[in-house]
Amino acid sequence: MTVFADRVTEVGPAAPFLISKLVTEARADGVDVIDLGVGQPDFPVPENIIEASHDALDAGQTGYTASKGIPALRSAAADYLNRRHRLAYDPEHIIATPGGKHALYVTIQSLVERGDEVILLNPSWSSYDPMVTLAGGRSSHVDLTPYDFRLEPAIDDVAEAVTNDTAMILVNSPSNPSGRVFTDEALRGVRDIAVDHDISVISDEIYKEFIYEGGQQSLAAYDGMFERTITINGVSKAFCMTGYRLGFLAAPSEIIEQVGKAHVHSVSCASSISQHAGVEALLNTDVDEHIGEMMQVYERRRDAFVETCADIDVEVPLPEGAFYAMLPVAADDDMQWAKEAVRKAGVGTVPGSAFFSPGFVRVALTQSEELLVEAVDRLSSAGML
């Protein structure tokens, strides 16, 4: 009999992929499903990036690369973070990874000891807690739901969650799944807690280009935060390159040295072809034009979805960034609700319990306005809203 490690058996399957499997099965059975569970942009990869991918193949760039990334990509990533997000990284502060998820995974593996606590701000992305568990740590959950998913009024709760075992605070803004963009005052509150208690912070900024109004300063740019912050970013969302599996982390040299060990012993390096495509994405894509066009579409979809829900007296907190919304549902078991929604209403969503926010489902605004409105109509007609 095979005996599995407790840290693995304690982790459940990823809810978004479970729902995706149900959607695929329902469609195979002839059910017409509007899939609002998939968390990836529904826009094409910019043509210049596709051409760069072809060029890399034609040039035979198909072997292993330096573990932390080809010099051109590390330089391009540092340039992008500094230029777009007002940070101050050098190329040696960068590790290229197979997706932003792996950047998170190896960082947590490298900084979290068995028994350490990591503070998560709920709703939190569904893979954060399992990553902490797989590292032997424990998640300490701070619920933002009573504050309409806002961090600023919950800063005292974050401070109270700090113990002698706290190793890290994990911040994701714009937030997947809530779409909240944390205010400057909220981020300063995180800074004060981290500095006062000498705690590391992961700042997951993969959705940072997706803010509907205004902007947001990166956590590493606040006083006292550069030396304790690991910034996570990548090309999957901003450049519609989810299948390329290319992310990167940025951190001080001493952190890079240690995280690099977990990285090289787990995956060796990121895809060579993806790295060359990533250089083109980060250096030669008109980000303002590219993102601007997407955000105009997402804003129209967001407004159509929220307004349609309001028409049937369902109040959805208005997302301020990313391309998600949290839809409240009257269900004791939101996973069962999500499963029934696929079969009964033909709508795919992700249960809020996967993000430690039961009573909601996450909706991805990655379908047309018309389909988003129809999805609400279907759920309402099926008696699910």
- Alpha carbon 250 to its chain's center: 16
Tokens representing 341 are 């929604």
Give the 3-state secondary structure of residue 120. Answer: strand
What's the confidence (pLDDT) of residue 124? 98
Residue 130 has pLDDT above 90, yes or no: yes
Residue 16 has pLDDT above 90, yes or no: no
Q: What would the pLDDT profile of 132-147 be if each residue is shown by its tens digit?
A: 999 999 999 999 999 9
Q: What is the mean pLDDT of residues 185-198?
A: 98
What's the confidence (pLDDT) of residue 300? 98
For the chain, domains (ranges, CATH) are 6-44+288-381 (3.90.1150.10), 63-284 (3.40.640.10)
- Residues 129/302, Cβ–Cβ less than 8 Å: no
Integer Cα distance of 17 and 30 in angstroms: 20
Q: What would the pLDDT profile of 22-35 be if each residue is shown by its tens digit?
A: 999 999 999 999 99
What's the confidence (pLDDT) of residue 164? 97
Q: What would the pLDDT profile of 56-83 be if each residue is shown by its tens digit?
A: 999 999 999 999 999 999 999 999 999 9
- Sign for the CA dihedral angle at 329, 333, 335, 339 comes to negative
CB contact set of 114 (below 8 Å; sequence gap of 6+):
135, 136, 137
- Residues 251/229, Cβ–Cβ less than 8 Å: yes
What's the distance, Cα to Cα, between the start and end of the chain in Å? 46
Integer Cα distance of 378 and 154 in angstroms: 35
- Residues 180/261, Cβ–Cβ less than 8 Å: no
The torsion angles phi and psi of 192, rounded to 5 degrees, stand at -60, -45
What's the one-letter identity of residue 189?
G
The torsion angles phi and psi of 110, rounded to 5 degrees, stand at -85, -25
Q: What would the pLDDT profile of 272-289 be if each residue is shown by its tens digit?
A: 999 999 999 999 999 999
Mean pLDDT of the chain: 97
Q: Say if residue 1 is exposed, middle or buried (CB neighbours under 10 Å; 0-12, 13-18, 19+).
A: exposed
- Residues 159/150, Cβ–Cβ less than 8 Å: no
Among 383, 358, 341, which Cα is nearest to 143's? 358
- Residues 141/122, Cβ–Cβ less than 8 Å: yes
Q: What would the pLDDT profile of 293-314 be if each residue is shown by its tens digit?
A: 999 999 999 999 999 999 999 9
Q: What is the mean pLDDT of residues 103-115?
A: 97
